[in-house]
Structure formats: structure tokens, C-alpha cells
Amino acid sequence: MAGVQVANVSKSFGTDSERTTVLDNVSMTINKGEFVSVIGPSGCGKSTLLKVIAGLIKADDGVVTVDGNTVTAATKDKLIGLVPQSPALLPWRTVLDNVSLPLTVNRRGNAGRKMRDPKELLSSFGLGQALEKYPAQLSGGMQQRAAIARAFVFDPSVLLMDEPFSALDEMNRDSQRLGLLEFWQSNRKTVLFVTHSVPEAIMLSDRIIVMAAHPGRIAEVIDVNLPRPRDADVYATDEFRDLEGAVRSTLRSVMEKKHV
Amino acid sequence: MSETHTINAQLPNTRFPAAESPGSAPPRSVPARALRWTRWRSWAPPAITFAVAAALWQVLAVNNPYVIPTLNAVWGSLAGEPGMYWANLLVTLQEVVIGAGAGILFGFLLAVLMAELQIMERAIMPLIVVVMVTPVVAIAPALVVAFGFGMMPKYIVTALVVFFPMLVNSLAGLRDVDVRALDVMHTLHASRWEIFRDLRFPGCMPFVFAGLRIALPLAIVGAAVAEFVAAGQQAGLGSLVTIAAAQANLPVTWASIALLCLMGVALVSVLALVRKRVLWWSDGETVAR
């Protein structure tokens, strides 16, 4: 089965007396080539869910498969590309060497796949002039783009992005998000995108999963039927505004329920 | 304005755009006179301090001829027997280089072992702390008894002094990994070795150099203390200090002390140069994490 399947995953942290359930029986599917965003209030476990799929956190219960493999097998085969919340580039490596890093580790996982040329990839990300620069010489937006290129370079089948643009200012954010949209539309990957920005989720996604907190669970799934390919004009359409209203009211009800 | 240009050329890593790095002011062109003033301001204050200290010393020395020697007497002693001083300096330097080299290497390797295997830290660290709180001055005579009057006890004492700051700093550095970069490596199923090679080892270098900055001056202390214990049995500046002091030969005593001090300054300067070459990336603002 291609794509990502999450079945009845639960996860809690802490000791018996102060145990908090971060994920409560979460099930979801991301089809191959589908862009799914997860949105929700803080503490709803959206980052934890992403980390469980990335194999960084072990779930207490439930099963996750990536392209039909267990998560461990998927990481061994380098099927998962991770874009963390911060660029997390290595300051002593040039941009080119940072992006080439995934090609040089776990070489066994490289077998039988075609890697992208890091230079070409960086050029298509608008970083062609910055190959030999060091991360500290780049702006925050460029650093984040390099981090996304690092996740694309080994051609994984699933991309997990954890609020990749959250550290950027709104204008920068918008241009980075449009850049990602454009690149993804010509390189369809299965994507799980964690965000707390409603317009961002609508703009990029095929489906939006709204999560509720305490305990973290899926509250609602909203389909985004805006035609593709999309561009910045989508913001101005009525459909976009309707969707934005729907997502926001869902989020509001999710937040209110928390206080009951 | 060629001077301004050379200054710009020395800063290849100027962060940009300026708006995103509040710490670094954009390079401005400075009038030559202001520039001369700036330079003067950087070397003149310490130079004045040194001059005042030397003058005070000289006044004290002239009035207390049996307590401290005049600067010209110290210089006269150095200039009179350069070969003797040089030979002793080389012996101490050898102790420092070999002893500190061994201590640095052993401290770092043990830090790697502890960073990779938690149980090793729990097993070994208490013993190391016990050894380290024991004063070196007390251990040195015992080591001389155990290893004789040769170079070996000096190497061991020097290594011992260097070992602990290296171990502690390296361990802190190896643990100070960017967790998000670590996450990326884990989703790639990078091996332990690959994580060490690409992430932990280069990343711990700022800590290692901070450790060296503490350890190298300590290495000279270690070598000198070890020489005190077995003074006269082997050459070395520390040995020279003890013998000359026993004979109330003030110029030789203080000339040897001055050479020990210069050796420390030289080691720390070399370290600073190497650090600048190796660790250019960790200077100034660090990369946004």
C-alpha cells in the first residue's frame, strides 16, 4: 500500500500520576501523492504525530506504515524526508554540502533509486548562487529552502514537514509557501505538513486534518477542492474564503470544547 | 581608503542581509584619522598598564634588592646564558607537549566513549572525580617515587592536569547536538558512526577548543610542579626556579618564571590562531536553530 497509514495510534508521556495523553487513538491515511496538512491548537499532538511517522518517537499503541513498510524499514530504505521546524543546517558545511548530506549517509538505502543532482535542485529552489555559501550567510527564508531541498534530494516517497515556515515573517512565509507549492506541483510527493496557519494549510493541501487537544485527537477532516495547479490568485477566490471560514470555525469549536 | 578595503576583505563571512542579523553592523567607510585612533585605542591601554606595572616593579626592586631583582638584572641573566635557558625551556616544552598531548587525546577519547555509551559515564565518572579532586601537588611526589626521576612522572602529572578539563568539555560538546539535525539523521537511518562523523565530531569542536584554552596553561603548571618535586634531577624551567630560589639567585629565578610565562602566552596564541582557522563558523552569531 502506497502512502502513509496511521491506525489507532496512541501516545502518552509522563508517569502514572501525571500522565498526559498526547495522541488518543488517531487513525488517518495519506494517499500516494497527496498533500495533507495537520492543524490544531498547541498541545494537540500534531508534532508528536509527525514524529511518530518519522520514527523519532515510538507510539504506545497502534500501527504506522509508510508505503506498506514499518517505519523502521522505511527509514532504512530512506523513504522518508524530514523538514524540521528550524532549518537545522550544519554551520560548518556549505549549502551544497548540507544538501548533499542525505546522499552520503546510509548509502545502503541509496540502492535502486535515482538521486537528484543537488546543484540542479538548489538552482530550482533559487539557491543556484548560494551553493558555496555557508548557512550563516543566508537569510532565514533561504536557509529553510535549503532544508527543504535537503529533504527532496534523495527522492523520498514521503515528506514530513513540521511547521517549516513558522520562524519566518509573514511576507517571507508567503513567498516560501508559494515556492514550495510550485515545486511540489511538479514533483508530487506524499506530504504531511504540520502548520498553525489556516491560509497556508488551504493553499497547499488536498485535505486538512483538524486536531483537538487534551487528549490529542482528530476532530475533523476538511477536503480542499480548489483546482490545481494553484498560485497566489487562489487567495482572492470565494472558494478560498469559504474554506477559510469553515476551517476557522472548526478550530474555534475545537478550542471551546477544550474548556468545557 | 585602502585600509577600509582590507578590513572588508578580512570578513568574508559578513552576515547578510543586515536586517536579519542585528548583531553585525554593516561595514562603514571610516575616515583614516578615525581608523588610526581606533587602532591606537586597541593597543595603547594594555601597553600603558604593562609600562606602569614594569615601572612599579622597578621601583620596588631598587628599594628591596634582596626580595625581587631589577628588570635589567633579569634581562642580563637571560642575555648572558641564552643556551642554558633554551636547553631548560626545551625540556619543559617537551614535557608539556607530550604530557598534554596524551592527556588531550585520552580525555577526548574517553569523552567519546562516555557520550556513546551512557553506562560508561556512570561507571567511570565517579572514579575520575575522586582522582581529580586530589591535589596534583600531592600526587606528584608519589609519582616520582613510583616512576623515578626521569621524564615519565612529569608526563603523567601534565597529562593528569590536562585530562579533566578536556574530558568535561568534550563530553559537553558531544552532547550539545542540534536535536533537529539529529532528527534528520535519524529519519535517514544514519549509523552511529555517520552521526559522529558528520554531526557530533565537528559540532563539539567549539567546546574542545574552550577546553584546550583551559588545559594548555594548566599543562605548564603540571610540568612545573612535577619538576619542583624532583628538582635538580632533570633539567627544566621549574627545576631551575627551585634551585635558583634555594640559592637566593633572584635574577635566574625570575628569568625562569618569565620564560614559563612566555611559554604559556605562546601556547595560548598558537591555539587562538588554530581556532580561528578551524572554528571560523562558530564565531560571531550562531546560525538560527
Flag whether pLDDT at B38 surpasses 80.
no
pLDDT band at B31 (very low <50, low <70, confident <90, very high): low
Looking at this protein, which amino acid is placed at residue A62? G
For residue A8, give the 3-state DSSP assignment. strand
- Per DSSP, A203 falls in state H
pLDDT 10s digits, A157-195: 999 999 999 888 888 888 889 989 988 988 889 999 999
Q: How many CB atoms lie within 10 A of CB B27?
A: 13
Write out the three cell numbers for B256.
625562569
- How far is B179 from chain A, CA to nearest CA, in Å? 8
Bridge partners (DSSP) listed for residue A37: A193, A208
Comparing B47 with B6, the larger pLDDT belongs to B47
Q: Which fold has domain A1-79+187-260?
A: Rossmann fold (3.40.50)
**Strands A35-39, A20-30: parallel, antiparallel or unpaired by DSSP?**
unpaired
Interface touch B287/A140, C-beta < 8 Å? no
Distances in Å between the alpha carbon of B11 and those of A97, B279, B283?
22, 14, 11
Nearest CA in chain A to B281: A92
Distance CA A168, CA A137 (A): 16
Contact criterion met (CB < 8 Å) for A81 and B202: no
Among B187, B192, B283, the residue to mutate for chain A (most A Cβ within 10 A) = B187
pLDDT class of B30 with cuts at 50, 70, 90: low
- Write down the pLDDT at residue A260: 46
Better-predicted residue by pLDDT, B5 or A230:
A230
Contacts of A249 (CB under 8 A, 6+ apart): none
The owner of cell 513498510 is A69
Per the CB < 8 Å rule, is B281 touching A136? yes
Q: Return the percentage of chain A with pLDDT > 70, whole number.
A: 98
Which of A97, A103, A105, A165 has the highest number of chain B CBs within 10 A, making it the mutation to test binding with B?
Answer: A105
Q: What is the pLDDT of residue B171?
A: 95
Q: Which of A91, A104, A140 sits opposite B281 (nearest CB)?
A: A91
Record: contact A136-B203, CB cut-off 8 A = no
For residue A34, pLDDT beyond 70? yes
Report the amino acid identity of residue B39: R
Enumerate the residues of chain A whose CB falls inside 8 A of the CB of residue B198.
Answer: 90, 101, 104-105
B41: pLDDT confidence band, cut at 50, 70 and 90? confident
Contact A84 B180 (CB under 8 A): yes
Mean pLDDT of A98-117: 90
| Gap between the Cα atoms of A79 and A143, Å rounded | 23
SS3 A79: coil
Buried b vs exposed e over A37-59: b needs ≥16 C-beta within 10 Å? bbbbbebbbbbbbbbbbbbbbeb
Question: Nearest by CB to A134, which of B187, B281, B288?
Answer: B281
pLDDT of residue B66: 87
The CB-side HSE value for B156 (13 A sphere, CA atoms) comes to 17
Find where cell 625581587 sits.
B68
Q: How confident is the model at residue A202 (pLDDT cuts 50, 70, 90)?
A: very high
Cα-based distances in Å from B203 to A146, B103, B195? 19, 21, 11
Instruction: Kindly report the length of chain B.
Output: 289
* Residue of B31 and A170 predicted with greater confidence: A170
What are φ and ψ of residue A143, in 5° steps? -60, -45
Instruction: In whole angstroms, give the CA distance from residue B84 to residue B87.
Output: 5
pLDDT for B22: 38
Tell me if the domain spanning B69-282 has CATH number 1.10.10.10.
Answer: no
Residue B137 has pLDDT above 90, yes or no: no
What does the domain layout of chain B look like in residue ranges?
1-8+29-68, 69-282
pLDDT per position as a tens digit, A135-159:
999 998 899 999 999 999 999 999 9
Give the cell for residue B220.
605548564
**pLDDT digits over B166-192, tens only?**
999 999 999 999 999 999 999 999 999
pLDDT of residue B6: 35
The model's pTM is 0.83
Torsion of CA A204, A207, A208, A214, to 10 degrees: -140
Whether B286 and A160 lie within 8 Å, measured CB to CB: no
CB proximity B183 to A under 8 Å? yes
Please answer yes or no on whether A140 and B20 come within 8 Å at the CB atom: yes
- Verify whether the Cβ–Cβ distance B187 to A85 is below 8 Å: no
Whole-angstrom distance, CA of residue B30 vs CA of residue B126: 56
Using pLDDT thresholds of 50, 70 and 90, give the confidence band for residue B13: very low
pLDDT of residue B28: 52
| The pLDDT of residue B284 | 57
More confident residue, B173 or B21: B173
- Residue-wise pLDDT tens digits, B77-111: 999 999 999 999 999 999 999 999 999 999 999 99
Reported as a pLDDT band with limits 50, 70 and 90, residue B204 is very high
Q: pLDDT by residue (tens digit) across A234-248? A: 999 999 999 999 999
Count other C-beta atoms under 10 Å from residue A226's C-beta. Answer: 15
C-alpha distance from residue B80 to each of A16, B86, B215, B247 (Å): 79, 12, 33, 18
User: Does B287 contact A at CB distance below 8 Å?
Assistant: yes
Residue B158 has pLDDT above 50, yes or no: yes
Enumerate residues 6+ apart whose C-beta is below 8 A from A171: none
Q: pLDDT at residue A37 above 60?
A: yes
Question: What amino acid is encoded at B56 in this protein?
Answer: L
Contact of B13 with chain A, judged by CB distance below 8 Å, is answered with: yes
Give B32 or B163, the one with higher predicted confidence: B163
Are A214 and A43 in contact by the 8 Å Cβ rule? The answer is: yes
Separation CA B181–CA B161 (nearest Å):
34
